[in-house]
Chain A
Amino acid sequence: MNAVLNELNVPIRSEADLVTARLRGREIASTLKFSSSELTLIATAISEVTRNILSYAGSGDLDLRLVRQGQKVGISIVARDRGPGIADLFSAMQDGYSTSGSLGLGLPGSKRLMDEFDLASEVGKGTTVTMTKWKM
């Protein structure tokens, strides 16, 4: 289990929150001295999962957490919504699969950007994406 060093919640209600989420993510991650290219990977992943909240659920929450696991520290991002949920989790993780007309790269792409990635969803209840990037 990860110890939480610092936590910040960003409510996702409108498109403007997407820009805020990326900015807050960069800010909190930079306190761990991630490299500029790692910060860009993190901000891009935040952008994708936040956009999913807005596209599919309309609103939700983003939790940005600085975590420690043994000797390593990192940033853990939890994107959660109470939207319609994802019926086909396997397809949702395939490149190019989309039910909204997007490129279908958001979830599989974010998984490639981060070190750990977990997708949990229940139809009618909502979706939670948890992803972590460790400081190398």
Chain B
Amino acid sequence: MNRSRAPILKLGETLIASVQEALMDADLVGLRDELVAEVKKYRATCVIIDVTVLDVLDSFAARTLRHIAQMTQLLGARTVIVGIQPDVAFAMVQLGLTLEGTETALDLEDALSRLKIRVGRERSAQ
């Protein structure tokens, strides 16, 4: 079920999970299990989860994202959550949610630049 809602792309040692639509709890848990399995399978060192399309991040979603970050960290990979919308951030803070200990970035581009992952022309020039 997760495959269509949040496909996982592989870019070198980085896995990019791109959430495509509102996720049900089972989808999030599926994404967690899938990401953890793929970190091991591909010996990934970075995981990026793009949540740009999500219009709500409630307590369950925040907890699951935090769990993903902690689990992948135990496997030696760094997780960055990207694309939290300003309205969503506002609601999360009001609700009392933090993603403490979880790295975040403005968007995918920001995360890639922080992780020093280059795509496109620059890469072939190296």
Contact = CB atoms under 8 A, between A and B. Distances in A.
B5 to A, nearest CB: 11
Contacts of A26: 55
A113 interface: yes
Given A22-B22, A22-B56, A103-B62, A44 B91 contact: yes
Contacts of A15: 24-26
Interface residues of A, number: 27
Contacts of A22: 22, 55-56
Nearest to B57: A44
Secondary structure at the A interface, as helix, strand, loop or mixed, is: helix
B96 A40 contact: no
A44 B24 contact: no
Using C-beta atoms within 8 Å of the partner chain, give the interface range for chain B. 20 to 34
Contacts of B85: 40
A53 interface: no
A102 B92 CA distance: 15
A16 B96 contact: no
Given A44-B56, A95-B96, A106-B59, 19 more contacts: A18-B25, A22-B55, A23-B22, A36-B87, A37-B86, A37-B91, A39-B87, A40-B85, A40-B91, A41-B94, A44-B57, A44-B58, A44-B95, A51-B59, A102-B63, A105-B95, A109-B59, A110-B95, A112-B96
